[in-house]
Structure formats: C-alpha cells, structure tokens
Homo-oligomer: A and B are copies of this chain.
Amino acid sequence: MNHSVPPLKLGVCGLGTVASGLIELITQNPARISERAGRPLSITRIASRTPRPARMPAHAEFSTDLAALIDDPEVDVVVELIGGVEPAHSLIERALELGKPVVTANKEVLARHGDALFLRASARGVPIGFEASVGGGIPIIKAVRESLGGDEISRIVGIVNGTTNFILSRMDEDGASFEDALAEAKALGYAEAVPDYDIEGVDAAHKVAILASLAWGIPFDVGEVHMQGIAGIDRDDLAFARRLGYVVRHLGLAQKAETHIETCVFPALVPKSNLLGSVCGVTNAVEVTSRALGKSLFIGAGAGALPTANSVLSDVLDIANGRSVKRLPSHGRERVADSQSCATYYLRAQADDKTGVLARLTDLLAGQGIGIDALLQPEIDAALGSPSAASIVLITHATEESRMRQAVSRIQAIPEIRGPVSLIRVFEGE
C-alpha cells in the first residue's frame, strides 16, 4: 500500500442487505482491502431513511439525510444502494454534478436514465460503477466492457433473475406449484421487495437493456425489451418438457440481427444437455457469443448480500486504483426492434375428447403453415396421471411469433379445449 496516496472515503446511501454486505466486506479485513485499493479505504458516512443499524463501521457517521451525504466534502465516492427510481436517480445526478464517482447496484435507474447519467458522468470525467446491477456476483459488466471490449458480440443470453430461476427449479425438481414455489422464494428472502418485478420479467428486462447497451452502444431503453414472465407456467409444462428432454428456464436475450438489435425476456424450453439448463436455484448464468471467443459462459451467485456487495466493492477498488472505464462505447448505429425472428414452440392444450380435438388442432396448425416437429405419445402422457390425461403436447417447426400467437388464439376457441393453452418458446442454444 502506498501511504502517500490519500485515503478514499465512501458515502453509502441505503442500508439494506447489500449495504450490510458491503460494510461486512470492508470492515472484516481493512488492511487487506486497503492493500487491494492501493490506499486506505473507509466508509465515512452512511445515510438511510430507515433507522440506524446495529452494526456500523467505526468512525462512520449515520444520518437520515441522503442529500447531505452526497454534498458532504468528506465523501469522495457515492455508493447508491437504495433501489427504485427516486430518490436514487436524483442522488446519483447530484453526485455526478459534484464530480464524485458513483457506484450503484440500481439496474432500474440505469435502464431508465442510463444515457443521461453516463453523459453527465462523461462531462465531469467521473466513472459510474454498476457491476452489481446485472448478475449479482458475476463480473459480467467487466467481462463485456473490458475483456470483450475488442471483440464483436453477436448475442448475450442467460438466466439473469435468480427469483424466477429458483421458482422454476423448485417446480421442476420437487413438483411444487407456482404459488408454493413463490411463497418459498419469499420466505427465503429471494423474492425482491416487489415480487411482480421478478415474476413478470421487469427485473430481467432492466438487465437485458443494460447488457445490450454495453454490447452494442445502443441507448439504454427498457421499454424496447419484449417482456414475458413466468406466471403462466404450469408444473405440467415442466413435467412434459422434462419428458421431451428439456427444462424450463426464464431467459434474457439480446442479439444482433442484420439490421437491428432484438431484446427480450421469456420463459423457454432449454435442452437438459445445455449448460444453461443445468443452472438451478438462485444461480445466474450469462452466455456471450462473440466473433473471436465463440461462446463464453459466466455462472455464479445471482443475488444475496455478499455476492452483490462484492461487485460493488470491485467497482470501488477500480475507482481507488484509477482503472475504471470512464467512457461508454457509442456506436449508435443499430436500432432496437421487436423480435420477429422465427423460433420453435412448445404447445400444450387440454381437451375433453382428445382424439377428435387433436385432428382439428393439427389441421388448424397446418392451415396456418405451422409444421409439427414432435407430438408427445399418449403412453407418456398417461404416465403423468389423470390431471394431464387429456393433454395434447407438441413442438412446432420454426415459426414467427405473431403467426404462432394467432394460431393459439384459434386453438383456444375450439369448444372442447379446456383452460388456457400453454405456449413456450424453445431455445436450443445453438
């Protein structure tokens, strides 16, 4: 450690689990952390709207005045761990205005206001660290921006929401219902403050927007991410998927098409043999396809106090060592467009009179020009027991999503069809 370098003083906004994790990581072994930072590193000030915590770092001042923390000349770097759009967004803006580097775990603020914030940061010549915003403890931001900085990325796909992956894993491995698995996720503290954000895919969409912006220099825009959650997934679908050699995973996808960038989040049938299909529980996994490297896969803790805090800390160490990325690449040529690419689909319908309905259903698909790649055999069907005894399960040939959805609404209109028809995209991972 170079003692001639002045210490770096952190101000931490927010006192949730990630902030507690950060305090733990920094105070556990201060000598080691300062050695890695190349200078003494300390948390001098903490602010939160909630009461003072039991455990506070020595010499840190606590207050409920968030704005005062930003303005405090004793604070060199602002660590924003409040979450949500406001006041987090305004606090980050203010910190940048004052020329202070910012570290944030806030994917929502970045996905909504990233462009303006990075413009401001760039104008003041200060970095924004946001490793913790995607993939929890996985260093995917650094990998995409630095390690793959000279490569040409064609696709990023992965499991970027631990809660939905936990729910799908529980439904698959233990046959839990969606409701029971969600309740368990909440009990274990995996479901975030607003669980709808996870279940409906909003959280994953924020992360996809951030990754797409980094990979291709397009504007941060979560509004362009085609979003589909996991609330419609039934445990019967997981059982049928398994018999067809697949597992169901909630994927975030950003890929470069010829003229545009496609971004979407959706539940998908993933082959069991694919590594993404092996990722269970709250673990996250991101696969990057690029020209030089081919496929690279990053797997690790997608959530939790210490993993996320470690990502925050790695940004702080980069700032302390003066090695942060200060610019965002700005190509700006590509446009985001809604996905119209073809995919194969898994379709499940329940019918009163299976034999008759099957013929009508396949006729209807044929009439729409949708081919059938696989039809689940009745003996497998029967093995699943009576609740699914009248299920028709098939996998289509590659079809446009709009055409597929049109066909589903016609199938839904067949009088003998009971309940909603399941439609899940198949992601072969090729």
Contact = CB atoms under 8 A, between A and B. Distances in A.
A296 B317 CA distance: 19
A306 interface: yes
A322 B125 CA distance: 14
A314 B151 CA distance: 9
A148 B321 CA distance: 14
A150 B275 contact: no
Interface residues on A, range: 35 or more
A300 B301 contact: no
A33 B150 contact: yes
Nearest to A288: B300
Given A292-B137, A310-B151, A314-B150, A38 B327 contact: yes
Contacts of A245: none
B291 A306 contact: yes
Interface in A189-208: none
Interface in A293-325: 293-301, 306-307, 309-311, 313-314, 316-318, 321-325
A179 interface: no
A151 B35 CA distance: 12
Contact of A294 (B146, B307, B327): B307
Interface string A10-29: 00000000000100011001
A79 interface: no
23 contacts: A26-B150, A32-B152, A33-B150, A137-B292, A137-B293, A137-B294, A137-B296, A139-B143, A139-B146, A139-B147, A142-B146, A142-B147, A146-B317, A146-B323, A149-B314, A150-B314, A151-B310, A275-B275, A278-B278, A292-B310, A295-B301, A298-B298, A323-B325
Given A278-B278, A292-B313, A296-B301, 20 more contacts: A25-B292, A29-B152, A32-B150, A33-B150, A36-B149, A137-B293, A138-B296, A143-B143, A148-B310, A149-B314, A150-B310, A151-B313, A275-B275, A292-B310, A293-B300, A293-B301, A293-B307, A294-B300, A295-B300, A297-B299
